[in-house]
């Protein structure tokens, strides 16, 4: 059943990549996204968090069609897009845009910024040159950059300005949902604050919905309405941002939040017990995949994989002992 007001709905989405040996023979599959179900309401900011390698970026790229879903359903604005090829879904995906982690690297170094911003309009619209240039100037002003930047190359502007250009480029096609992949990584704190304010202002001005992918929990807490926590390709907890930060239910979420620095530079270490690296996604432990790092693990955790289940307060967690 569809969620009323949802702009994006995922049901049991999987993304698998083939594994091959040194001779090129297929030996198995790597499940980078392993049965994710989520919904995003129109106008919402949903934060997706987890350690590096948990599958959050692959999830974002699967939603936009950069990677094709191996199984499951992806519905965007009421349309099934999960099984469409990039060519088939091009018209639908105009309103679904992906903002890369490094916008400078995603810009052609041989093109000036003006041409990079105009290119989506050339490909996806029938606008004439004067209309395209007017749209470019309008959006450039909306992200706080002067018109003189149109004659610059990507390497001639700062990292924060590159983030603005990256946002301007995806706004050219008037999207309704934007997936932001680590949009503040590598920026100074002061520049991060400016970029976050730009995202919030743009959301109001252009009526946007955000899927905000980040490992920076402090930033996610500041900007997101809800949080989805991922571990080894699965969502292990979801809930309203303040609820999750106030009382995390899953042991993995608890350990992540215990590691967040607090004001003054002190680190909360009293309950920080997460150790070691996650298991290899090609050789996952039985039952709960987090059990090898969890101090609460019992025999049931090895025998039975916990499902992501709804709890009394409307939150969801994939732990036998949550709730």
**What is the span of the domain harbouring residue 19?**
6-95+175-317
- Quick one: average pLDDT of 186-198? 85
Residue 170 lies in a domain: no
Helix (H/G/I), strand (E/B), else coil: 190: helix
Residue 51 lies in a domain: yes
Q: What is the pLDDT of residue 270?
A: 53
Q: What is the pLDDT of residue 92?
A: 76
- The pLDDT-based confidence of 296 (bands split at 50, 70, 90) is confident
Phi and psi at residue 238, in whole multiples of 5°? Answer: -140, 155
Rg, Å, the chain Cα set: 21
Residue 130 lies in a domain: no
Find the helix packing angle between 159-171 and 189-206, rounded to 10°. Answer: 10
Domain tally, the chain: 1
Identify any residues that bridge with 92 across adjacent strands, giving them in sequence order.
Answer: none
In this structure, what CATH number is given to the domain that contains residue 23? 3.40.50.300
Residues 6+ apart with CB under 8 A from 74: 8, 9, 10, 13, 62, 63, 80, 81, 82
Whole-model pTM: value is 0.89
- Quick one: average pLDDT of 241-245? 94
Residue 245 lies in a domain: yes
- Tens of pLDDT, residue by residue over 256-277, are 888 776 655 544 445 556 777 7
Find the helix packing angle between 159-171 and 129-142, rounded to 10°. Answer: 130
Residue 138 lies in a domain: no
Question: Tokens 């920076």, residue?
Answer: 216
- Quick one: average pLDDT of 129-148? 94
- The pLDDT-based confidence of 3 (bands split at 50, 70, 90) is low
Consecutive H or E run containing 17: strand 6-20
Residue 106 lies in a domain: no
Q: What is the pLDDT of residue 104?
A: 72
Residue 139 lies in a domain: no
Residue 75 lies in a domain: yes
- Quick one: average pLDDT of 38-55? 94
Mean pLDDT across the chain, nearest whole number?
A: 88
């Amino acid at each position: 059943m569809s969620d009323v007001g949802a702009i994006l709905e995922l049901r049991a989405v999987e993304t698998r990549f083939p594994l091959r040996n040194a001779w090129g023979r297929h030996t198995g599959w790597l499940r980078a996204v392993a049965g994710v179900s989520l919904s995003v309401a129109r106008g919402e900011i949903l934060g997706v968090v987890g350690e590096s390698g948990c599958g959050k970026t692959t999830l974002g790229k699967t939603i936009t069609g950069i990677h094709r879903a191996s199984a499951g359903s992806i519905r965007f604005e009421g349309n099934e897009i999960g099984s469409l090829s990039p060519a088939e879904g091009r018209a639908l995906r105009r309103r679904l845009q992906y903002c890369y982690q490094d916008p400078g690297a995603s810009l052609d170094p041989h093109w000036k910024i003006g041409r990079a911003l105009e290119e989506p309009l050339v490909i996806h619209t029938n606008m004439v040159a004067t209309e395209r240039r007017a749209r470019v100037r309008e959006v450039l002003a909306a992200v706080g950059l002067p018109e003189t930047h149109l004659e610059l190359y990507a390497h001639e502007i700062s990292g924060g300005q590159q983030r603005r250009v990256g946002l301007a480029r995806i706004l050219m096609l008037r999207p309704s949902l934007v997936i932001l992949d680590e949009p503040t990584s590598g920026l100074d704190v002061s520049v991060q604050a400016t970029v976050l304010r730009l995202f919030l202002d743009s959301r109001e001005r252009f009526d946007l919905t955000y899927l905000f992918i980040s490992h920076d929990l402090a930033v996610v807490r500041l900007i997101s309405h809800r949080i989805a926590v991922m571990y080894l390709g699965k969502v292990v907890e979801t809930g309203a941002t303040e609820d999750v930060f106030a009382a995390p239910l899953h042991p993995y979420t608890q350990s992540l939040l215990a590691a967040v620095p607090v004001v003054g530079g002190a680190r909360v270490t009293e309950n920080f017990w997460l150790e070691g690296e996650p298991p290899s996604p090609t050789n996952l432990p039985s039952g709960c995949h987090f059990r090898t790092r969890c101090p609460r693990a019992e025999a049931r955790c090895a025998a039975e994989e916990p499902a992501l289940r709804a709890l009394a307060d409307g939150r969801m967690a994939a732990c036998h002992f949550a709730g």
